[in-house]
Chains A and B, each alone.
Chain A
Amino acid sequence: MDDLRGIERAIEMQETKIAAKGVDVFYGDTHAIKDVNVEIAEKTVTAFIGPSGCGKSTFLRCLNRMNDTIDVARVSGSIMLDGEDIYDPKVDPVQLRAKVGMVFQKPNPFPKSIYDNIAYGPRIHGLASGKAELDEIVEKSLRRGAIWEEVKDRLDQPGTGLSGGQQQRLCIARAIATEPEVLLMDEPCSALDPIATAQVEELIDELRQNYSVVIVTHSMQQAARVSQKTAFFHLGDLVEFGETATIFTNPVDSRTESYITGRIG
């Protein structure tokens, strides 16, 4: 099992960044997430795996309150970010989303120039005081998104003109331009070819130095390659949560074992 490089990777104990306790999500009458408890550590990649429709994306979207945009969605339970309840009525979701960035399944650059794609977040949050500073943020973000070399000569061209993999890295760069503390990634590689996937995975591994990354993925190999912690969801339940190496080599629950050996899902 070459994919399980995680086994050799030493996992230092990190402080908890996000603590979810007893989270339930309802879409109208559908009970999509059932009493989930997860602790996401700082500077760690946490992977959510599970069959389609198991609620992993739904749960991910709870972490930056993207579910607020869906009228029928209802969230209960508590999700603490650095000890503060993000569902507190006093919390403005806009402020939260500046701290908890998100990368989506389908690359979705704005139909604007590459520069404006990156600069948009810093602009609306007032992170740059001048053009020079903004230029610097754009360059830094594109470098960290591992796409600077490819686009530095055409920053004024539309972001939608890039290839799929480049677009996704542009979206990652856009997400980190606002200096979030947590980065949520919803199947970031599902629309990419293996080469672009490898680039994004490398990138995720680098991002771990500074961010807490939560990634939803369909590919168990990917979870094994990039994450330190893995949570397995099934039909809205969090079946098992633990260190990636343990989950993949020695699962406790029979459903986890069935899934990672390919018998369900």
Chain B
Amino acid sequence: MTDMSAPSSGKTSLLRLDARTKKRNAAERRFRAYGAICVGIAVVALVVLMASILKNGTSAFFQTHITLDIELLESKLDKTGNRDIAEMSKVSTFGYAPLIKNAMEAKIEELGVDIEGLKKPQDMISKEAAAQLRRFVLANPDVVGGTYEFEFLASGRIDGYFKGRVTMESAERDKNVSPQQLMLADAMKEEGSLNTSFNWKFITWPDASENRPEAAGLGVAIIGSFYMMIVVLVLALPIGVAASIYLEEFAPKNWFTDLIEVNISNLAAVPSIVFGILGLAIFINFAGLPQSAPIVGGLVLTLMTLPTIIIATRASLKAVPPSIREAALGVGASKMQTVFHHVLPLAAPGILTGTIIGLAQALGETAPLLLIGMVAFVREYPSGPPEGFFDPAAALPVQVYNWTQRADPAFVERASGAIIVLLVFLLVMNLVAIILRRRFERRW
């Protein structure tokens, strides 16, 4: 071993680096540079991702509204004049369209603008407006005959014009919007009857059909995702923790428990779509649970989350020093007392973190939900719990998937907005995990 041989000639100076030290230092510098580059790549990727989502998505939270005075003509809405709800319900949304048309024409007159070739100015208002008007009238029959101010959503193209998605040139070739309408929109904006404001409807309203992207919201998806998270939490946490405690503290160590352990680890790696097929076969086809229901979604996600929770819980149980167990056993505590009085409280922060990470994973899961019908178009809000668990609902990631498939470019912004909402939820959950961890962390 030549390395080991003592310096052959005289003394070496500490002030001069020898060849080996130089080489060692160079290697360390190189390694640091690699590390910095790797971190840099990750940061750049994150920044690009976030920036693109924010750039595309923030506009979804703002929407162009048009304020109009609508005269609720009795001759159109209640011909008999006795304010009978049953009779008034027979007037469909088509019956309300002329009111909006009249109001729009009145507005143009009031503005005093004369735009040559302006056709169908009422198309500037979302098709949702008639339904909005009808809901209002049926809820308050006494308003018929009066004139009220309403704030309607502008159509997706008009909204897109103010967000830069639609231009005069593109409007030329577009059959849904004309340059004249855009000129009118500019005039209305100047006058103040058209404005852009924060759009709570994006969060509270249900999804809308292909040709009215401006009215599409996340309400049903948020409720659906929330219900599913409740199901996952209520089922996966107790089952997962109980299973891990049994495996870790009580079960004998033999080939059978080894097999179970290997299987749990494998289960954690099973592609999520497989769980979807399982859910379809067992919960829907065999057990007869309804399709698109949060309960089925929750059950499938529970199966998916269980391995994560079990692995995290076992790891945190293992991390509790054996001296604590010996101490408890030494003063005559039974095995169960040892586990529940001493081991479990010490493992709690780890269990909570694992659970919340599992939940966050489940919240973002799309594939298994597609298979159990959560991809359906759902306009109705699910009712309150517990019946609501069996009502059809959507889920946040599935809503993103749904919207990205639609043709209207306005849905690109919607999908990015939904991703922002999803990310905010995930961020909040991770924050809760960190806070809980800090709160409960104890040293020994």
List, in ascending order, chain B residues with CB within 8 A of A160's CB.
443-444
List, in ascending order, chain A residues with CB within 8 A of B323's CB.
104, 106, 108
- A109-B330 Cα distance, complex, nearest whole Å: 12
The reply to whether B327 and A69 form a contact with Cβ atoms under 8 Å apart is no
The reply to whether A97 and B329 form a contact with Cβ atoms under 8 Å apart is yes
Q: From residue A244, how far is it (CB to closest CB) to chain B in Å?
A: 26
List, in ascending order, chain B residues with CB within 8 A of A103's CB.
330
- 10 further contact pairs, Cβ within 8 A, besides A97-B332, A175-B330: A69-B325, A71-B252, A94-B334, A97-B329, A102-B326, A104-B327, A108-B327, A110-B328, A111-B346, A178-B332
Given contacts A104-B327, A110-B324, is CB(A120)–CB(B444) below 8 Å? no
The reply to whether B330 and A110 form a contact with Cβ atoms under 8 Å apart is no
Cβ < 8 Å to A, chain B residues 244-284 = 252-253
Q: From residue B248, how far is it (CB to closest CB) to chain A in Å?
A: 13
CB pairs A–B below 8 angstroms (10 shown): A66-B329, A94-B333, A103-B330, A110-B328, A111-B444, A120-B333, A124-B331, A171-B327, A175-B330, A175-B331
User: 3 tightest CB-CB pairs across the interface, nearest first?
Assistant: A98-B332, A108-B323, A121-B331
Which of B326, B327, B332, B337 is most buried by chain A, counting CB atoms within 10 A of its CB? B332
List, in ascending order, chain A residues with CB within 8 A of B329's CB.
66, 69, 97
- A174-B19 Cα distance, complex, nearest whole Å: 60
List, in ascending order, chain B residues with CB within 8 A of A64's CB.
330
For residue A125, CB closer than 8 A to chain B, the reply is yes
Q: Residue-by-residue, is A51-75 near B (CB-CB < 8 Å gives 1, otherwise 0)?
A: 0000000000000101001010000
Which of A104, A111, A174, A177 is most buried by chain B, counting CB atoms within 10 A of its CB? A111
Cβ < 8 Å to A, chain B residues 288-347 = 321, 323-334, 337, 341-342, 346
The reply to whether B443 and A111 form a contact with Cβ atoms under 8 Å apart is yes
The reply to whether B324 and A108 form a contact with Cβ atoms under 8 Å apart is yes
For residue B442, CB closer than 8 A to chain A, the reply is yes
- A97-B328 Cα distance, complex, nearest whole Å: 10
Q: From residue B176, how far is it (CB to closest CB) to chain A in Å?
A: 67
Q: From residue B237, how far is it (CB to closest CB) to chain A in Å?
A: 23
- A109-B20 Cα distance, complex, nearest whole Å: 49
List, in ascending order, chain A residues with CB within 8 A of B326's CB.
66, 69, 102, 104, 108
- A64-B329 Cα distance, complex, nearest whole Å: 10
List, in ascending order, chain B residues with CB within 8 A of A121's CB.
331-333
Cβ < 8 Å to B, chain A residues 185-243 = none
The reply to whether B331 and A66 form a contact with Cβ atoms under 8 Å apart is no
List, in ascending order, chain B residues with CB within 8 A of A129's CB.
none
List, in ascending order, chain B residues with CB within 8 A of A125's CB.
332
In the complex, which of the residues B252, B324, B331 contacts A174, with contact meaning CB atoms closer than 8 Å? B331
List, in ascending order, chain A residues with CB within 8 A of B341's CB.
120, 124
Q: Residue-by-residue, is B344-358 near A (CB-CB < 8 Å gives 1, otherwise 0)?
A: 001000000000000
The reply to whether B332 and A95 form a contact with Cβ atoms under 8 Å apart is yes
- A98-B323 Cα distance, complex, nearest whole Å: 18
Q: From residue A223, how far is it (CB to closest CB) to chain B in Å?
A: 22
Q: From residue A128, how far is it (CB to closest CB) to chain B in Å?
A: 14
- A110-B444 Cα distance, complex, nearest whole Å: 8
- A66-B324 Cα distance, complex, nearest whole Å: 13
For residue A6, CB closer than 8 A to chain B, the reply is no
For residue A165, CB closer than 8 A to chain B, the reply is no
Cβ < 8 Å to B, chain A residues 105-124 = 106, 108-111, 120-121, 124
For residue A50, CB closer than 8 A to chain B, the reply is no
- A98-B331 Cα distance, complex, nearest whole Å: 6
List, in ascending order, chain A residues with CB within 8 A of B337's CB.
124
- A97-B252 Cα distance, complex, nearest whole Å: 22
For residue A101, CB closer than 8 A to chain B, the reply is yes
- A104-B323 Cα distance, complex, nearest whole Å: 8
Q: From residue B292, how far is it (CB to closest CB) to chain A in Å?
A: 47
List, in ascending order, chain A residues with CB within 8 A of B331's CB.
97-98, 101, 120-121, 124, 174-175, 177-178
- A178-B330 Cα distance, complex, nearest whole Å: 10
Given contacts A111-B346, A120-B341, is CB(A97)–CB(B330) below 8 Å? yes
- A94-B337 Cα distance, complex, nearest whole Å: 11
- A125-B337 Cα distance, complex, nearest whole Å: 11
